[in-house]
Structure 1
Amino acid sequence: MALATGRSFLLQPCSLSKSTSIHKSPACGTSSWLRHAGAEITKPCRRTCIAAQQRPTWLPGLDPPPYLDGTLAGDFGFDPLGLGENPASLKWYVQAELVHARFAMIGVSGILLTDTLRFAGLKTIPVWYEAGAERYFADAKTLLIIQLFLMGFVETKRYMDFVSPGSQAKEGSFFGLEAAFEGLEPGYPGGPLLNPLGLAKDIKNAHEWKLKEIKNGRLAMVAMLGIFVQASVTHVGPIDNLVEHLSDPWHKTIVQILGSSS
């Protein structure tokens, strides 16, 4: 049984050993033995050994909700709105966070890469928030329809695998390309296309990889929010903002920029 009060405790019952005198057990304290009518009668030892184990929480000393028991990757007991009280909802929110985190990591990487190339001299590359207005191999309406179709198809497959794990890996369920994705578990597809380096093949014991991914994904979501705010206020990309700040760190900060814009 575990008690969660900012840290978890393992409660282990004491073991009994026969003895004719009072002694101390290094594992579970004192065990008493009483003599009565020439026979040894044991006095049960009901004390417990408490071994404290640290459980990191988003706010030290805070009691995490009982439904967040630390088994989920990246679980630090943060749910101020109680969104995860329903087990079914919590299961879906885990998948939703994974998808948003991955999109944020791809988005931040793309924005920083194109912004760096543009700052380095490739002026033909548009600022990220104007890239959608550029003309590519097709007009904007055609691209929108293609995007809706492709994303709708992928999201439908993902939802079907969430509802019935493993159903989308059956032969013939994906035009004969099932082995190229080789789903590991809901939310963690694999195969040579989505896991070319072969990382975390044993997904059941890949807690460390899951934790690293969700931490980086959460950081990327915060970074994406910051990039949105910067673009709205300064009308330039993040690399331009960074270079301007480094040119005069003490006078060109977020406080001064937001103050001047208002």
Structure 2
Amino acid sequence: MATAMFASSAVRAARFTQAPRGVVARAADRPLWNPGNPAPEWLDGSMPGDYGFDPLGLGSDPEVLTYFQQAELVHARFAMLGAAGVVIPGLLTKAGILNVPDWWVAGEVAIKDSGIPFWALVMVQAILMGWAEIARIQDYKKPGSQGDGSFFGVTDGFTPVSNGYPGGLFDPMGMGKGDGLKTAQQKEIKNGRLAMLACVGFVAQHAATGKGPIDNLFDHMASPGMVNFATIGVSLP
């Protein structure tokens, strides 16, 4: 009798924990952040960079998920620009090709050297970025709407490929056409995620060492055993 009760409990437990076949099939067909476990049903692999990661269920609402996708895409693009703006000037300065200030003071130095009043720059930035962001949010609310009408006589150059991917004049090489689009989207979001982590690392490095990533790299290469995360007095007590 005890054996029968145990077998019955095991069957009920298996029925309760068994994932839907469709979910398991999708999980097997694509790479996941947690292999062997099904992705949430709202992460079906249709979005670029979807590896089924949403342990808190933040994207279970379709509207919220769409917003998160667009927010991540915009932050990823800014982070890639920011990471390049930190690393490339640092390398060129280290090589003696340029002599530019470190990233954490570059903005202040540029404003002082420009001769343009700070608030004038703020107003110009607000107008230009305001126009771009309003256009972006309208395209988010009504995908494809930014391709309607005329902008200084241009009528066809602002028709987007899809939400978040403008195309037209913003894709002069035609990389958003054909089968290469999905590959390009995947590469963009993966590199953007790395760039976001890199920017956080740059800030943490400067807070810990007072230096930029290139100087920190050269210091580490000169003495790997003495200059690393364990010797700066911040990472480890």
TM-score (norm 1): 0.75
Aligned equivalents of 1:177 and 1:228: distance in 2?
41
Q: Do the aligned residues in 2 keep the contact of 1:233 with 1:261 (CA within 8 Å)?
A: no
**Matched residue, 1:207:** 182
Deviations 1:170-226 (A, max 9, x none): 122x3333434442111001234x2232212248x7222111111111111111110
Which has the higher Rg, Structure 1 or Structure 2?
A: 1
How far, CA to CA, are the matches of 2:149 and 2:235 in structure 1? 60
1:162 to 126, 135, 140: 140
Greater strand fraction, Structure 1 or Structure 2: 1
Structure 2 partner of 1:152: 130
Shift, 1:121, TM fit: 2.5
Q: Which has the higher helix share?
A: 2
CA drift of 1:62 comes to 2.5
Structure 2: unaligned runs, 5 residues or longer: 1-19
Q: Go from structure 1 to structure 2 and tell me whether the alpha carbon gap of 1:261 and 1:132 turns closer, same or farther (over 3 Å shift).
A: farther
**Separation (CA, whole Å) in 1 of partners of 2:58 and 2:36:** 21
Shift in CA distance, 123/216, structure 1 to aligned 2, threshold 3 Å:
closer
- Report % sequence identity: 41
**Which residue, out of 99, 112, 117, partners 1:139?**
117
Q: Please say if residues 244 and 252 of structure 1, whose CA atoms lie closer than 8 Å, have aligned partners that are also in contact.
A: yes
CA–CA separation in structure 1 for the residues paired with 2:29 and 2:147: 39
CA distance in 2, matches of 1:250, 1:219: 26
Report what 2:228 is aligned to.
253
Q: Aligned residue pairs: how many?
A: 215
Aligned to 1:4: 23
The answer to which of 178-187 and 226-235 deviates more is 178-187
CA, structure 1 residues 159+114, in 2 after alignment: closer, same or farther (shift >3 Å)?
A: same
Q: Distance in 1 between matches of 2:208 and 2:155?
A: 46
Distance 2:119 2:42 in 1: 45
Is contact 1:57–1:77 with CA below 8 Å preserved after alignment? yes
Where does residue 12 of structure 2 map in the other structure?
Answer: none
- Runs of 4+ residues deviating >6 angstroms: none
* Amino acid corresponding to residue 102 of structure 1 in structure 2: R
Q: 1:191 is matched with which residue?
A: 168
Which residue does 1:220 correspond to in 2?
195
State the alpha-carbon separation in 1 of the partners of residues 120 and 37 from structure 2. 51
> Which residue is 1:16 aligned to?
none
The equivalent residue for 1:176 is 153
What TM-score results when the alignment is normalised by the length of structure 2?
0.82
Per-residue CA deviation, residues 145-178 of structure 1 (Å, 9 max, x unaligned), is 2212211110100111111122111122x33334
Conservation of the 8 A alpha-carbon contact between 2:139 and 2:163: yes
Offset at 1:250? 2.2
1:61 partnered with 2:80: no
Task: Tell me, yes or no, if the aligned pair for 2:161 and 2:176 is still in contact at 8 Å.
Answer: no
Q: What is the CA–CA distance in structure 2 between the aligned matches of 1:259 and 1:168, rounded to whole Å?
A: 49
